[in-house]
Structure 1
Amino acid sequence: MTTASEKSVRLAAFTEWASEHITGDEKGEAQIFLDRLFQAFGWKGLKEAGAKCEVRVKNTNGGTSFADLVWKPVVLIEMKKRGTSLSKHYSQAFRYWMRLVPNRPRYAILCNFDEFQVYDFETQLDTPVDTVKLSELSAKYGPLNFMFPGDIAPIFGNHQESVTRGAADKLAACFNSLTKRGIERPLAQRFVLQMLMALFSEHIGLLDKYLVTSILDDCKKPQDTHDLLGGLFEAMNARNGVRGGRFKGVPYFNGGLFAEPARIELVTRELNLLKEAAKFNWSKVRPEIFGTIFEHSLGKEERHATGAHFTNAVDIMKVIGPTIVAPWSALIESAKTLGELKRLLARIESFTVLDPACGSGNFLYLAYRELKRLEARIYERMAMEYKSVDPRQRPFGFVSARNFFGMDINPFAVEIAKVTMMLAHKLSIDELHINELALPLDNLDTNFRASDALINADGSRAAWFKADVIIGNPPFLGSKLLKPKHGADYVKLLRRAYPEVPGMADFCVYWFRRAHDELKPCTPIDPLAGRAGLVGTQNIRNNASRIGGMDHIVATGTIVDAVDNQPWSGEANVHVSIANWVKSKDKKLVPDYCRLWFKVDPAPGAKKRPRGTGAAAKQYELDMREVPYINSALSDKTDVSAALPLECNTMPQRCFNGQMLGHKAFLLSESQRSAIVSKDKRSSKIIHPYLNGVSALTNTVLNRYVLDFESMDQLQAATYQGAFNWVKTHVLPDRMKKAQKGKDKDGNLRPHHKAFLAKWWQLSFGRPEMLSVVKPLPRYLACAYVTKRPIFMFVSSGVRPSNLIQVFGFDDDYSFGVLQSNIHWLWFITKCGKLTERFRYSAESVFDTFPWPQSPASGDVKAVAEAARQLRAVREVALKNMKGGLRALYRTMELPGKNPLRDAQANLDAAVLCAFGFSPKRDILQQLLELNGDIADQINLGHPVTAPGIPAGYPNAAALVTKDCLGS
């Protein structure tokens, strides 16, 4: 292992060499400089380390650029000539970084031969996490630790996330202490927010440096904090200033945040927490993430914000970039006259932004920052290109926090959002060096509203602020969780207020629908308005959620930029979709191409990415393709949302969800089953092997059993004495208890509790309709209900499936082949329900609409069946020596190289394609959609069609039914 002194010696030698031989010519010296840099960090050279120079990177405009050095998965390095201001080029590095997938580098470096600016875009978007001068490299190489061989974590001096977390923890702990000892919550909130502003202010020049720190040091007893801190807050609210004394010279902040100066006698622990908070450099605290981290710790004793996930700025920019920055930038850069620039300046002053689920204001903060940069760019162009313009003169007003509006159901989050936006103005002045007054702060009491954004208490629709654009990430909540989370009464009012949104739509869909309706149309007269960008659950592009939201949006609007699927960086553990759209169909108002972003899996065998710093977390990579359109399913592929349920697929029903037990005592272990049967052998008839989703994917032994009386009445069930006594002892008491606890306000049993109690010995949902189909068969088909790829298997009809199993009433190899084909898989992933990366097999949207081959030739049916048997034979052989079952086996298909399973699947796919009569050169989804429509038309005309399963009239159908199955 190389010692620290040896590292310093090598790096010092490199610095000396560079000083002697490098003049700073970007084109002529970059590669030799970088090669020597790698040598200094312990490599033989950059090529030996695996790095490449002049790497082609696609431009956002369709062209090609060249990155100076790419070392996957470690770092991207962009060189600029000596003397260049590197901060102006971070956006170029960020664009390159976004496109370097798969296996994107973790870090980026901008270098002008004299200093290295280090970026970690996953945690800090446009500010370096550290800057290292070449002359200091031998002593300060910690920020570049990732350049050494081995996974050595870097040590950053400007890692603002860690500073923010520490500061948030101290302030939140103080708040928790106040409320715990009985200080009224509104007073505690006012105190903490006023303290927050004061701490920021002494570090960003709104208050004298060390003023707050010295006040805290002078507080020796509780009365001091009441008088001194309270006095400071009062001075910050004095419109005409304080004429004398300790607070003379404290400027007026505003009458909103400080309208009621908070005076509290702090105990020693609380004072110490504030003193510790004051030690942080609050100029490094990031307002856009502070609120979320701060909220995470409120009211949670001893729970720190260390593990809290905030919404990453990179993710927020996936909304703000397309919805605000891109259209504004296009107009600013294309303006050809001073008059045009002046008109844009006048427009930006009145431009308004709404976040109807604003939380602590992180989306609005970044939107403000970007609008101020755009405003500065207008002034920059005016001053550079027109000598008549004095850059010091501001002929118009300016973008302020009053341009932004927010709503949220959490009152304290709204108050935090106000403070966040108040700070935004001063921080923009400092960043852009603009001539604006930082004080007084904008009073935002009329810009933010703490209320339900959807409905009022009386059930009427809540009013929204009028705005040019709408942004945000509304709550992630599936339709089935609405009642448990908000109550039946709320859901009833919600659905009555929004009858156009299907009842099975996810909660966020109401925001998408409402946002589109609230927008004024985008027009040639005002092309910057009528735009929106929202984050939603993956389900916004599927089924009822798509019908309620995106279908409505694309009817009168155009999606211009979308992310089809990515993990969310915020608190919710979900995969999300992001849609940015314009309320117009006018081709002149939308780009010539749309941008569709999609998640990229790591390259097989890719080198592990270096460890990051902080808690940024759910690592993934997105790539983008430019497409002519994006449909309501957030895809550029054939939109199959118009596919119709087919009567031949539903009558008779062949696809079912498995049994939902309703009580854990219905599920037995091997020993419990044996104990019951040993006392009553007859009970063995109603105790069955049980298959759950894990068993289906991993081929584990069926060692659990379900006790199922099916639809027997109580007297019939009682004849199975052992089993009946078991449920009487272990199920009945719980169901009685729950029924009593679940009584409504009038003392009546709720309907579902009443139904379960009436048949307490039966499973909650025993699926008698499913059993009527599968029990007569020797075996049935099954796959996991939640899966990324349906892996089908035959199961003995004596085995009962759980609700995590999707059941298909077929026992033949031909049906197995059709369902296991890639054609069916493509239909599944396009039509299924999604929340995270896990896809859900929905009978209604997938199976009921999936068209089967129509009148296939007998030879084609036989070929599919034979290919299906061969596929299962390959699986069976491979599984004998493979741990992890079918799931592990199918994952091998993602790896390069020859694979017998992949070959068998290809043979099956070819046979199924022939059975369908499809052309491999045409879009499969389009052919399936056309076939779906043809079958629906034939049914409506009363003509015969080929239903799922073995085609009617196939000779010797029995030969297609073999015997292999799980549980036989």
Structure 2
Amino acid sequence: MARLNLKAVEERVAPLAGRESYDREFIFDLLLAYGKPQGNVTRLRNGSLNIAVDSSTEVAQKNVVYFKETTGDPLEVIDGLKSSPAVVRFSTRFVIVTDYFELVAHDIKTSETIGFPIREIDQHFTFFLPWAGMEKAQYVAESHADVKAAERMGKLFDELLHANPGIFDDAQGRHSLNIFFTRLLFCFFAEDTGIFDDNQFTNAIGSHTQSDGSDLAEFLGDLFRALDTADPADKPTHLAEFPYVNGRLFTVKDDQVVPRFTKQARDELIASGTLIWRDINPDIFGSMFQAIVTPGKRSDLGQHYTSVPNILKTIEPLFLDDLKEEINESQDSERRLLRLLDRIAAIKVFDPACGSGNFLVIAYKELRKLEHAILERLAELRGGAHQGQLLGSRINVENFFGIEIDDFAVEVAILSLWIAKHQMNVEFREKFGIDLPLIPLKETGQIKSGNATRVDWNAVCPNDGSSEIYLIGNPPYVGSSMQTAEQKSEFSSVFGRRPFSKNLDYIALWFVRGSDYIKGTRAELAFVTTNSVAQGEHVSLMFPTIFNMGIEIGFAYTSFKWENNAKHNAGVTVAVIGLRNTSDHAKYIFTDGLEIAANNINGYLADAPNIIAGRQMKPISVGLPPMAFGSKPTDGGYLVLEPVERRELLDAYPDAARFVKRYVGAADYINDIERYCLWITDREASEARQIGPIAARLEKLAAWRLESKAQSTVDFADRPYRFKQLAYKPTDSIIVPSVSSERRDYIPIGYLGPDTVISNAAFAIYDAEPWLFALLTSRMHMAWTRAVGGQLETRLRYSNTIVYNNFPVPPLSDKTKEMLTVAALRVLDVREYHCEQTLAELYDPDRMPQDLRDAHAEIDALVDSIYSKKPYETDEQRLSDLFALYERMTAEETAKAPAKKTRRTAK
């Protein structure tokens, strides 16, 4: 299918608008407008591709659309279709209902619904862009009630700490408080969802306690005991109507303290109860956890709360997509569907950094939805009879395992699974008319408290090798420089006798331990991770250990912004990496809304062999001049001049101009900061000393160097006029910032004249020609930089030995260099036109002038054509070709090395 851009789709949809009348042909015309193949649409029209429906008023295609005509209210009809068996089984992307006057559409993936007059289809064409391969950004809005709940409970937490000084300071006291808040969360949810009577908990507090809160602790202690008492006759009369829950949650032990309440604390508790908790988003527990616990308590241990769409990026390609496909293939076979029920019931899901349980909750709910779809299909095959299949759900909370270091999070995770179970039981009742009561609670949960880097994962979730186990989650990421001594010590427990680098990110422990856990078994894993683990030096530090176990990357989501429902969104860039034992199963890279089949996925998340771009001391590509750090003064500031110092010097001594040059580092160049330096050669030293201000500076510099603890600096005291490390040449040069904002589409690389000295705060290429500037400012080179260069904090980090020297460039003809030169000069001309703006402003992605974008686009297209005859759609395709070329070039270099050695020996 030919890919269409946004403008092309808009133009193709426009003729569908404003028609005098519409009929069934509309859906076929609409699919064609988004680039769906003519042959497929023809087969869909004549019914040979139409699935799941026999009605002339319905059209359905797997993964694409479920379209229905109606004479009723389209909005009411679509509500019933959203969770219909066919929509679930066939992974329909869009559900569309129309009476040919109004059109209502629902996006199953993003849960968005839109309605409009069908004549205005051209005004809403972007809604269906996923059909053309342009995926919508998966942003999830905060639920207002969720945020209010978190804020209320946070205020209550703070007030209780204030009212109960000291009693929660030790570990046991904090555990008691954690248990207490878990019970409150359950009660709030229970009274809004039918587990309790409506508002039963909040009304009881308001009716049976003093307004000053003085007796509330006693009342809650009695209530918790009542909830742990099976026989109503054994409960206080005023609590007899509360149901029996079970002892796992409400057993009151002697060492578990119910806190004293103040009037304000009681008011906060009642205010929390007046919120609607019925449809609470699973992310609330992460958000609430964040609001309740002491600020910063576990921030370095990865308290991350991932949104539902991002959790699905982990579990869909790991196992959900496969299960949905099997349902599709089994829809007409009762035997296969029953076997699939057995399979789903046996699946184990394990999150070894589970936090408050979001990943486990969503996995549980998705498996329950599939179970419901299978049961509905079985009923259809049996003419509406369930024949004993609906005794209850076979998906057991006990099959969901977790490890979490924080005590409160363990309790919240268990509670989250219970609540998720109740929500799915409600859906079960709505679909099948059978009530599956949540209480009394039977499952005790498989969430264990502990440090996952030291706990034996097999002791938590036994892996016998044949079980279908999926490890999922969002383990903590902590850079090597930010790790505590305790975290550093954990590497030895995970790696054992295997070598490891101290520069590994903390999350590497989960990838390595996870690989150990799944090795040689059916188990697979997928973790959300900081994207830096698949960039730069970290690739060489982590992935060889993993690949050497016979583990491969089965799928990967390349870098994307991480969104969640916490009040203060994390705002980091992450990836999703799925690992499994080496197999011949398909591999996929997900990027920019596209799903791309891959032959192999390497540690840089590119479709390329498992190769590592190590340090190279010279460029591997013929014709590239050397790149080095700029000149380093080691001068105590005496060789560097601010503009006012330069002006004063030259006003008094005009002849000193030949000893002064413009001096720039990365920050100077990007932000247009003006600085100068003294540049004096050996031959000019005696003349320079005749100028008083220069002589005074050199004398002070000599004394400064003599006092240095570094002998190499002391050795230069007798040459104070000289930079300690020289790189400058009086030629045109290219300056490459060593660090640049990750937000920029292009690193602001510069082309300088011969009178500028580049400092050691940037990289420098001398004897540089403009064609090289074009090559280095291309999107091709940016893709390479992002992959192999790595990051400093979140900023892009450039390296001459890893990025530049390894950059593979095909042989360039003189004609190609000439074309690159013209394109380079165009970029430089546009920059000069906008000279009133700094490069930091020009290359801000939100402010970049269109003419500068266009000039860079010309370079991008030209450089792309050097590597491929076909245009690239993604950076991942660029990387695939770059790594293939890199592998060939390095293999050729390796092959040459023995031959050279043989010739030397022959001499």
Report the TM-score, using the length of structure 2 for normalisation. 0.70
Deviation at 1:560, TM superposition (A): 4.4
Alignment deviations for residues 143-201 of structure 1 (CA, whole Å, 9 cap, x no partner): x9x99xxxxxxxxxx98711111112111110122123425133332222211111111
User: Which residue is 1:263 aligned to?
Assistant: 258
User: Which residue is 1:535 aligned to?
Assistant: 528
199 and 853 in structure 1: CA distance in 2 versus 1, 3 angstrom threshold: closer
Q: 1:204 aligns with which of 182, 193, 198?
A: 193
Distance 1:461 1:877 in 2: 58
**What secondary structure, in the 3-state scheme, does the structure 2 residue paired with 1:534 have?**
strand
Q: What one-letter code is carried by the residue in structure 2 that aligns with 1:538?
A: N
Q: 1:775 aligns with which of 709, 728, 745?
A: 728
2:199 is the counterpart of 1:232: no
User: Which residue is 2:10 aligned to?
Assistant: none
User: Which residue is 1:964 aligned to?
Assistant: none
Deviation at 1:471, TM superposition (A): 0.5
2:164 is the counterpart of 1:168: no
190 and 86 in structure 1: CA distance in 2 versus 1, 3 angstrom threshold: same
2:539 is the counterpart of 1:566: no
Distance 1:200 1:162 in 2: 16
Q: What one-letter code is carried by the residue in structure 1 that aligns with 2:226?
A: A
1:412-811 alignment runs, 5 A limit: 412-433=408-429, 435-444=435-444, 447-455=446-454, 465-466=461-462, 468-479=469-480, 481-483=481-483, 485=484, 489-490=488-489, 493=492, 497=496, 499=498, 501-519=500-518, 521=520, 529-547=522-540, 549=542, 556-557=550-551, 559-570=553-564, 571-587=569-585, 590=586, 594-599=587-592, 623-633=593-603, 635=605, 637-639=607-609, 641-642=611-612, 645-646=615-616, 648-649=618-619, 654-656=627-629, 670=643, 691-697=664-670, 700=672, 702-704=673-675, 772-778=725-731, 780-785=733-738, 786=740, 788-795=745-752, 805-808=762-765, 810-811=767-768
Q: What one-letter code is carried by the residue in structure 1 that aligns with 2:278?
A: S
Distance 1:321 1:723 in 2: 67
1:11-160 alignment runs, 5 A limit: 56=33, 81=70, 82=72, 84=77, 86-89=79-82, 126=111
User: Which residue is 2:789 aligned to?
Assistant: 832
Distance 1:664 1:511 in 2: 46
Distance 2:576 2:723 in 1: 38
State the identity %: 19
User: Which residue is 1:190 aligned to?
Assistant: 179
2:205 is the counterpart of 1:248: no
Comparing 270-279 and 319-328, the one that deviates more:
319-328
Contact 1:194–1:257, Cα closer than 8 Å, also in 2: yes
Contact 1:542–1:833, Cα closer than 8 Å, also in 2: yes
Distance 1:539 1:548 in 2: 12
Q: What one-letter code is carried by the residue in structure 1 that aligns with 2:197?
A: D
* Number of residue-to-residue matches in the alignment: 773
Contact 1:176–1:298, Cα closer than 8 Å, also in 2: no
Distance 1:251 1:879 in 2: 76
279 and 826 in structure 1: CA distance in 2 versus 1, 3 angstrom threshold: closer
Q: 2:204 aligns with which of 215, 237, 241?
A: 215
Deviation at 1:543, TM superposition (A): 4.0
Contact 2:778–2:856, Cα closer than 8 Å, also in 1: no
Distance 2:449 2:291 in 1: 19
**What secondary structure, in the 3-state scheme, does the structure 1 residue paired with 2:599 have?**
coil
Deviation at 1:568, TM superposition (A): 0.7
298 and 688 in structure 1: CA distance in 2 versus 1, 3 angstrom threshold: farther
561 and 295 in structure 1: CA distance in 2 versus 1, 3 angstrom threshold: same
1:862-901 alignment runs, 5 A limit: 864=817, 867-868=820-821, 871-872=824-825, 875-876=828-829, 878-881=831-834, 883-885=836-838
Contact 2:318–2:578, Cα closer than 8 Å, also in 1: yes
Alignment deviations for residues 436-460 of structure 1 (CA, whole Å, 9 cap, x no partner): 3311224546x1222221136xxx9
Distance 1:557 1:538 in 2: 19
Contact 1:235–1:252, Cα closer than 8 Å, also in 2: yes
| Root mean square deviation of aligned Cα | 5.7
Q: 1:407 aligns with which of 403, 408, 420?
A: 403
Contact 2:662–2:677, Cα closer than 8 Å, also in 1: yes
Report the TM-score, using the length of structure 1 for normalisation. 0.66
Deviation at 1:312, TM superposition (A): 1.6
Contact 1:633–1:639, Cα closer than 8 Å, also in 2: no
Alignment deviations for residues 188-246 of structure 1 (CA, whole Å, 9 cap, x no partner): 32222211111111111111222112122132133321122222122112244544411
Distance 1:655 1:796 in 2: 17
Distance 1:109 1:344 in 2: 30
Q: 1:177 aligns with which of 156, 159, 165?
A: 159
Contact 1:780–1:794, Cα closer than 8 Å, also in 2: yes
Contact 1:170–1:276, Cα closer than 8 Å, also in 2: yes
Deviation at 1:282, TM superposition (A): 0.9
Comparing 661-670 and 380-389, the one that deviates more:
661-670
User: Which residue is 2:13 aligned to?
Assistant: none
Contact 1:566–1:575, Cα closer than 8 Å, also in 2: yes
Contact 2:628–2:765, Cα closer than 8 Å, also in 1: yes
Gaps of 5+ in 1: 1-30, 38-46, 69-75, 101-107, 135-143, 148-157, 302-307, 523-528, 600-622, 710-717, 732-753, 915-919, 946-968
Gaps of 5+ in 2: 1-15, 51-56, 58-64, 118-123, 128-139, 169-173, 297-302, 464-468, 681-692, 870-877
Contact 1:697–1:886, Cα closer than 8 Å, also in 2: yes
Q: What one-letter code is carried by the residue in structure 2 that aligns with 1:180?
A: H
Deviation at 1:497, TM superposition (A): 3.8
Distance 2:372 2:589 in 1: 30
Comparing 774-783 and 278-287, the one that deviates more:
774-783
**What secondary structure, in the 3-state scheme, does the structure 2 residue paired with 1:477 have?**
coil
1:336-375 alignment runs, 5 A limit: 337-375=333-371
**What secondary structure, in the 3-state scheme, does the structure 2 residue paired with 1:564 have?**
strand
Deviation at 1:866, TM superposition (A): 8.5
Alignment deviations for residues 119-155 of structure 1 (CA, whole Å, 9 cap, x no partner): 7989xx55x79x9999xxxxxxxxx9x99xxxxxxxx
435 and 727 in structure 1: CA distance in 2 versus 1, 3 angstrom threshold: farther
